[in-house]
Amino acid sequence: MPIENHIRVFRAKEGLTQEDLAKKVEVTRQTIISLEKGSYTPSLELAFKLSEIFEVSIEEIFYQVEDAK
């Protein structure tokens, strides 16, 4: 099952640019772009960092979607 996320939504709520968020979680802006596009699945460590920054659970940021068959 693919994993999708609400990173763009939470980032916008916090008023953060992709660059700002990247610096806070110690990754590149390109990583944030890939996460938001859904083309990159984060490590558990990165998922925890994002959850701490947004002050929500990991499950509120990341969720699985069923494949349309």
Domain ranges of the chain: 3-58
C-alpha 20/C-alpha 26 separation (Å) is 10
CB atoms within 10 A of CB 33: 13
Instruction: Return averaged pLDDT per consecutive 10 residues of the chain, 69 residues in all.
Output: 91 97 98 95 96 97 82
> 45 in helix, strand or coil?
helix
What is the predicted pLDDT for the residue at 66? 82
CA distance 50 to 68: 28
Q: What was the pLDDT predicted at 31?
A: 97
The pLDDT assigned to 69 comes to 62
* Alpha carbon distance 31, 28 (integer Å): 5
pTM summary value: 0.88
pLDDT at residue 22, rounded to an integer:
98
CATH superfamily name and code, 3-58: lambda repressor-like DNA-binding domains (1.10.260.40)
CA dist., res. 37 & res. 48, Å (int): 19
